[in-house]
């Protein structure tokens, strides 16, 4: 979808100087365009809809997840999944996305909609990826506060505090 920034990413890949492969997973209004571009550009692989198991398999072969959002997203699940799988995230610094990704700790942020800044982030990721692969514990620790158990505990505490107010 437009707010997800896939078209922006596809436009930017034309200007990428380094050897990259782009795997796009998911479906939406741009699916046919992505499929056509993938047929023309060998660097683009379009998978369409993928199950969670297939997504996990993708995480086993990628260097980074790109989240080029243009719109304010609260907290995309795919970022948690990638970080739990120790995959750094290249992401637009917008909404909740920018709060989850910490520059050079678990990924690299770029200005939303800025092709120049996205290209900079891709170059930085290429230079940083070996170091990032040695930071597995640090990357996983960045999502530890968002574990489901911690979330449930916070909700229980909130409910208890509301009962105390009554």
Contact 101, 109 (CB under 8 A): yes
- How many residues can be counted in the chain? 166
Contact 24, 47 (CB under 8 A): yes
Quote the percentage of the chain above a pLDDT of 70.
99
Taken in order 6, 49, 24, 11, is the CA torsion positive or negative? negative
- This prediction has a pTM of 0.84
Task: Extract the tokens encoding 51.
Answer: 């199950």
Task: Extract the tokens encoding 5.
Answer: 């920034």
Contact 23, 58 (CB under 8 A): yes
In our burial notation (b when 16+ CB lie closer than 10 A, e otherwise), range 104-132 reads eebbbbbebeebebbbebbeebeebeeeb
Per-residue pLDDT of 35-70, as tens digits, reads 999 999 999 999 999 998 999 999 999 999 999 999
Task: Extract the tokens encoding 157.
Answer: 């505490």
- pLDDT at residue 134 in the model: 79
Per-residue pLDDT of 113-142, as tens digits, reads 999 999 999 999 988 878 877 788 888 888
3-state secondary structure of 46: strand
pLDDT bin (cut points 50, 70, 90) of residue 111 is: very high
Cα maximum dimension of the chain: 64
Quote the percentage of the chain above a pLDDT of 90.
52
């Amino acid at each position: 979808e437009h707010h997800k920034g896939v078209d922006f990413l596809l436009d930017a890949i034309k200007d990428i100087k380094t050897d990259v492969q782009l795997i796009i997973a998911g479906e939406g209004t741009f699916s046919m365009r992505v499929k056509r571009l993938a047929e023309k550009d060998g660097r683009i692989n379009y998978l369409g809809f993928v199950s969670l198991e297939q997504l996990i398999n993708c995480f086993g072969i990628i260097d980074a997840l790109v989240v080029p959002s243009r719109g304010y997203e609260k907290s995309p699940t795919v970022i948690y999944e990638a970080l739990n799988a120790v995959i750094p995230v290249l992401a637009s610094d917008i909404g909740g996305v920018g709060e989850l990704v910490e520059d050079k700790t678990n990924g690299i942020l770029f200005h939303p909609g800025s092709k120049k800044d996205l290209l900079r982030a891709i170059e930085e990721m290429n230079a940083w990826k070996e170091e990032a692969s040695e930071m597995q514990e640090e990357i996983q620790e960045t999502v530890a506060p968002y574990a489901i158990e911690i979330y449930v505990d916070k909700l229980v505490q909130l409910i208890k505090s509301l009962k105390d107010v009554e």
